[in-house]
Copies of this chain bind each other. A is one copy, B any other.
Amino acid sequence: MTKARTHVLETIAQAKEPVSARQLCGKFQHEHDPATIYRALHYLEEKGRLDSFILHCSEHGTERYYVLHVAEHRHWFHCERCHRFTDLGLCQFDALVAKMSADRGLTVTSHTFYATGVCSECRAKTKVSVKTPG
């Protein structure tokens, strides 16, 4: 493991939410070139240490996000206000996906799911400010 790959992997391992290449490039802008960050991400995903998915958010556009590879994958909610992720827990779609694909003779190798909206904290802020007199 080179220094760049270690930095990238440890950052993602310590994060509580998916991390984008942009965030990593920002964090290591004085240590590693963006090309090195992208190459490290490809290397780590290819070696099975990372998983990734693409998510679109109106403010950040379309970006790939990375998480540590784990045996049972999870899905995520992305808040369009604060841009943090909420863990939706272990994937509960397998049975449904198996049924949908079996019915149609499909061999499903991967699926993507995410939800977007407003998280509980941002929702609370909105309600408070709406109710505030004056």
Q: Which residues of A contact B (CB under 8 A)?
A: 54-56, 62, 77, 79-80, 86, 88-89, 92-93, 96-97, 100-101, 104-120, 123
Contact = CB atoms under 8 A, between A and B. Distances in A.
A77 B113 contact: no
Q: Kindly report how many copies of this chain are found in the complex they form together.
A: 2
A115 B105 contact: no
A53 to B, nearest CB: 9
A114 B119 CA distance: 23
A111 B113 contact: yes
Contacts of A109: 80, 116-118
A56 B52 CA distance: 12
Given A54-B54, A62-B62, A100 B89 contact: yes
